[in-house]
Amino acid sequence: MTLVLATRNRHKLAELRAILHEAGLTEEVLDLDDVHVPDTRETGVTFAENALLKARAVAAATGKPAIADDSGLAVDVLGGCPGVFSARWAGSHGDDEANLRLLLDQIGDVGPEHRAAKFVCAAALVWPDGREVVEIGELHGTLTYEPRGANGFGYDPIFEVSTADGPRTTAELAAADKHAISHRGKAFRSLVAKHLVAGA
């Protein structure tokens, strides 16, 4: 069986392929550039809606099972924002630096006790016959005042979690350590275990 990942974001592709492999998936995994399918507009108002929109479009276009995710950062003091707008919070889709800086400016005066946030990932799997499932993963942490670390992407440099070695941003973690605890890791491991490796 061949699966298609409904993204062409190179950072996300590398991360998802690693997570899927670590979760025991052995099938061939293609991406949107491999199958020449255009991006799908993310018009949903939840992570699950956007993930399903993308996976449905790719499954319909290719006739192959499609996996998509929508993920982002939910900040408590901002009422769960940026949420589904995480990738375009500063106005231009995918401008990680601008998004991060705008968010830090918005909560600059917020004390450390009120900087709780979580990463959320909705991972969707859609088969060409119309079957579809969604798994949700979350990672809770706090936001720093300045970026730290050179790994990861997006909001990773300002998202801090507790580790055995003390507080670390997810950009300070090695890839395998991040995958083990991340929102994407949780959602995609659940997707593989429940619906792919298990043969559901």
Q: What are the catalytic residues?
A: 70
What residue type is assigned to position 89 of the chain?
Answer: W
Number of H helices, E strands in the chain: 6, 7
First to last CA, the chain: 14
Q: CA gyration radius for the chain?
A: 17
DSSP H helical segments within the chain, as ranges?
A: 10-22, 32-35, 47-62, 96-106, 175-181, 183-195
How far apart are the C-alpha atoms of 184 and 69, rounded to whole Å? 8
Place of tokens 């949700």: 136
Q: Are 20 and 31 in contact (CB under 8 A)?
A: no
